[in-house]
Amino acid sequence: MAHQMKVLIAEDEHDISEIICFHLMQNDYETYPAYNGVQALELAKQQIPDLIILDIMMPGKSGIEVCEILRMDSRFRDTRILMLTALSDDATHIKGLEAGADDFISKPISPKVLMTRVGALLRRVEKTESPVLNLGNISIDPEKFATFVDDREITLAKKEFELLYLLASRPGKIFLRNEILSRIWGDDVIVGDRTIDVHIRKIRQKLEYDCITTVKGVGYKFISG
Amino acid sequence: MAHQMKVLIAEDEHDISEIICFHLMQNDYETYPAYNGVQALELAKQQIPDLIILDIMMPGKSGIEVCEILRMDSRFRDTRILMLTALSDDATHIKGLEAGADDFISKPISPKVLMTRVGALLRRVEKTESPVLNLGNISIDPEKFATFVDDREITLAKKEFELLYLLASRPGKIFLRNEILSRIWGDDVIVGDRTIDVHIRKIRQKLEYDCITTVKGVGYKFISG
DNA sequence: TCATAACATAACAATTAGATAACCTCAACT
DNA sequence: AGTTGAGGTTATCTAATTGTTATGTTATGA
């Protein structure tokens, strides 16, 4: 449940800032309030937040300026910027987006809207990405150690499962034989080449669905749909 | 020439779809139009686009439904979804965001706004530099070990692939026969000259597209449309 | 027209993966 | 401890694919 995501709020009106912080904290975000542009930049460099909520109208440096400065700095490459605007006209939006903002909210702010948009922006960054693979009619759940083909559950053995999961984690990518060996068997263990074939065969047999392609002399790859 | 990003447009009104496509194409995006939800899903699975522009109101499956289905499928982990709405009320936005959309645009659409938002969404995706060769209508992806001619996938054998990749890596450059031999077969292996010809022939045959020029008495070179 | 180089085809050789069964290891159960 | 069984590895044989060579044909240029 814990995101442990850092959100910097750059907003000069204390009331609004507090409301935003309150709702964010309720949803398990870490909040860092700043009350003008310069302070926001300092705090940002110190914390490297995942998201910055940036009011456009601030004394001193405007939100647009702050945004441009942040975007120049590669430390904030993965930091999302959500701008707060009084007006919701196109011109303002375009200026903001060109400065590097990712999204906008117009005042007055609805907490519900705020939280959904924050959620949408940070979904991409979410560290705890679900490892369940869902690829067309085949899905693989490493937590349950289960594989489904068209909702039919298939029980794979350990090595078989690891192998399938590896291939399916990057559909289309070709895995060389020694790549497979080192990732599943490790570099110190020595097993013959035929071992891989046999496991591949068993997977194909059990799945009864052709999703692994052989590239002779090179390796194997997973193909979907 | 820069992006090579795929954008799927799911919009039932042909006029609007065409306008969107037009502007996207002007900005060097590849466009794939679909005119209802089901078609959109099919096309998406086939192309794995970088961005999907999704009209909420569509006959058959609504944009929300399509969005939810897409978000279940890990092949679209990195695909952005931009929703088109007639209304811009909070309730619709929240529903959309919860379904997994990344952003919204309300109709009527301003081209300028559309393009800035598309740009903002895809800024994050900017393809990490990979050794994929992209030469007009032919593209070669060593990671997938696949070759595409006009989006048609061609399966080449190992040596054929290596040879094509070598030539295509420096379009226009003439590779001498012994240069080819030493780079693909190595200096210690001895193979006859005819071997190269045969491989060249097989490549030409499979690609069904003339991109390798013979320079009599010298060698071969790759030429791109 | 002749000489040379490259193309086409087929035949051959080498490589590589598929199939199957036997074997080994380890753990659970009697 | 002995038995059993599942998972995993290896050996061996076979089938298929890929790579190479041989040979004849065609194009090109002096």
B123 touches strand D (CB under 7 A): no
Quote the CA–CA distance of B126 and A126 in Å, as a whole number. 19
pLDDT at position B129 is: 66
- Determine whether the interchain pair B157/A216 forms a contact, defined as Cβ–Cβ distance below 8 Å: yes
Q: Answer yes or no: is pLDDT of A22 > 70.
A: yes
For residue A55, give the nearest of A68, A72, A67, A73 by alpha carbon: A67
| pTM, entire model | 0.84
pLDDT at position B22 is: 97
Nucleotides on chain D that have an atom closer than 7 A to a protein CB are 6-12, 17-23, 28-29
- Determine whether the interchain pair B46/A136 forms a contact, defined as Cβ–Cβ distance below 8 Å: no
Q: Which nucleotide is nearest to B190 (CA to C1')?
A: D20
- Determine whether the interchain pair A136/B74 forms a contact, defined as Cβ–Cβ distance below 8 Å: no
Q: Answer yes or no: is pLDDT of A33 > 70.
A: yes
User: Over chain A, what is the mean pLDDT?
Assistant: 90
pLDDT band at A127 (very low <50, low <70, confident <90, very high): low
Cite the beta strand spans of chain B per DSSP E.
6-10, 30-34, 51-55, 80-85, 103-106, 133-135, 138-141, 146-149, 152-154, 174-176, 212-215, 219-222
Express each pLDDT in A90-100 by its tens digit. 888 899 999 99
Find the Å distance, CA of residue A160 to C1' of nucleotide C24.
Answer: 19
Quote the CA–CA distance of B100 and B91 in Å, as a whole number. 14
B194 touches strand C (CB under 7 A): yes
pLDDT band at B1 (very low <50, low <70, confident <90, very high): very low
Average pLDDT over residues B215-225: 85
Place of tokens 């870490």: A30
Instruction: Select the residue from A109, A124, A179, A222 to test the B interface by mutation, using most B Cβ atoms within 10 A.
Output: A124
Indicate the burial class of A37 (C-beta count within 10 angstroms; 0-12, 13-18, 19 or more): buried
Quote the CA–CA distance of B48 and A2 in Å, as a whole number. 31
Place of tokens 């907490």: A111
Express each pLDDT in B63-99 by its tens digit. 999 999 999 999 998 899 999 998 778 888 899 999 9
Q: Answer yes or no: is pLDDT of A155 > 80.
A: yes
Q: Answer yes or no: is pLDDT of A124 > 90.
A: no
Residues in chain A: 225
pLDDT band at A129 (very low <50, low <70, confident <90, very high): low
Q: Answer yes or no: is pLDDT of A24 > 60.
A: yes
- Determine whether the interchain pair A112/B94 forms a contact, defined as Cβ–Cβ distance below 8 Å: yes
- Determine whether the interchain pair A90/B112 forms a contact, defined as Cβ–Cβ distance below 8 Å: yes
Q: Answer yes or no: is pLDDT of A88 > 90.
A: no
- Determine whether the interchain pair A94/B75 forms a contact, defined as Cβ–Cβ distance below 8 Å: no
Express each pLDDT in B109-144 by its tens digit. 999 999 999 999 998 877 666 788 888 889 999 999
Find the Å distance, CA of residue A161 to C1' of nucleotide D6.
Answer: 15
Residue of chain B whose Cα is closest to the Cα of A138: B73
Quote the CA–CA distance of A32 and A44 in Å, as a whole number. 9
Out of A33-42, B17-26, B157-166, least confident range: B157-166
CB B168 within 8 A of CB B185: no
Residues in B closer than 8 angstroms to A110, CB to CB, are: 90
For residue B155, give the nearest of B207, B212, B225 by alpha carbon: B207
Average pLDDT over residues B180-206: 87
Find the Å distance, CA of residue A187 to C1' of nucleotide C15.
Answer: 25
Rg (CA), chain A: 24
Q: Which nucleotide is nearest to B202 (CA to C1')?
A: C8
Average pLDDT over residues B54-60: 92
